[in-house]
Amino acid sequence: MKRLLLVTMAFAALAILFASLAASEPPGGKDGKDGKGDERASAGDKDKDPKNEAKIDPKADKYLKAMSNYLAGLKTYSFQVEEFFDEVQDDGQKIQFNNERQLSVSRPNKVFGENVGDTADSLFYYDGKTAIVYDRKQKTYATEKVPDTIDAMLDDLHDRFDTHQTLADFLFADPYKVLTENVESATHVGLSQVSKVKCHHLAFQQRRLDWQIWIDAGDKPLPRKFLITFKREADEPQYIALFRHWDENPKLTDDLFVFKAPEGVRKVDFLNRHAEPPPVKKGSGK
């Protein structure tokens, strides 16, 4: 009988322990699949440099470096992409949207972007002092003083306003550094064709996402296709960019980077990501 009592008590203790552990688990589960419970783990990994344990295929590294160095060496360049990305619906169904995007860059401090398609009709201006997002569809724009280099401007906009330039990885002064900062593995998949262009197909793994890139195998190691899988997000949505056109020496006038507000558009604020609005009286929303 004693034995039975002990077994029962042990069983009960285990059940309670299990329940307590479940209750103390952060929302989103251990792996932070929804991206919310992930923070803690990420902060804890700060001391752990992924590169220390990274499994890097030297061929993948070589071709990525070649592409990055080539881009870093361009003073002015522009490119057009057709991009596709998934939006996961409430019921788990993935709906794909697509946009046409054009980016023009004059290093070190000018960027112009245009994005037209299913989810946007917007322009982006950066002239070395000010960043402007103009939403053509909604006839609104926001302007903000920003740092005087592309790198600092991109991080500043992201940190303060959660406004990032899509394909920013290809705008930074050192694309290799940005692309490899969290890489845990790199693989040279092989040669592949992207729109009849022979490319080196490379695949990379990071903690939060996997990505692949197809780099022109010819004289100019330009990216021809780029794919990101957000593997920590529910149903693992993807972003795909097909680079349709590269111009490595475009004639970009200063006017291109300066926004002139058309008549009838409304100036609004960027929504601050670290918002803490003034307290409002309960019930005043009636």
For other proteins, the binding residues in 180-219 under the rule CB under 8 A are 181-182, 204, 206-209, 211
Among 67, 106, 165, 257, binds other proteins (CB under 8 A): 165
Does 65 engage in binding with other proteins (CB under 8 A)? no
CA 166 → CA 20, 80, 115, 200, 231, distances in Å?
42, 12, 10, 23, 18
Among 145, 196, 245, 282, binds other proteins (CB under 8 A): 282
Quote the CA–CA distance of 83 and 103 in Å, as a whole number. 13
Contact string 68-87 vs other proteins (x = CB under 8 A): ---------------x-xxx
**Which position has the token pair 């949207």?**
97
Which residues, in sequence order, are bridge partners of residue 273?
none
Map the footprint of other proteins across residues 92-151, applying CB under 8 A: 97, 115, 119-120, 122, 124, 133, 135, 137-138, 140-142
According to DSSP, the β-strands at 140-145 and 266-267 are parallel
Does 280 engage in binding with other proteins (CB under 8 A)? yes
Give the nearer residue to other proteins in terms of CB position, either 240 or 252.
240
Does 30 engage in binding with other proteins (CB under 8 A)? no
Quick one: how far is CA 254 from the chain centroid? 28
End-to-end CA distance of the chain: 65
Does 266 engage in binding with other proteins (CB under 8 A)? yes
Quote the CA–CA distance of 48 and 120 in Å, as a whole number. 38
Map the footprint of other proteins across residues 223-252, applying CB under 8 A: 228, 230, 232-234, 237-239, 241
Asked whether 114 and 102 are in contact (CB, 8 A), the reply is yes
Does 34 engage in binding with other proteins (CB under 8 A)? yes
What token pair was written down for 230? 């957000």
Which residues, in sequence order, are bridge partners of residue 144?
131
Question: How many residues belong to the site for other proteins (CB under 8 A)?
Answer: 95
Does 173 engage in binding with other proteins (CB under 8 A)? no
According to DSSP, the β-strands at 210-216 and 197-205 are antiparallel
Does 35 engage in binding with other proteins (CB under 8 A)? yes
Closest approach of other proteins to the CB of residue 251, in Å: 27
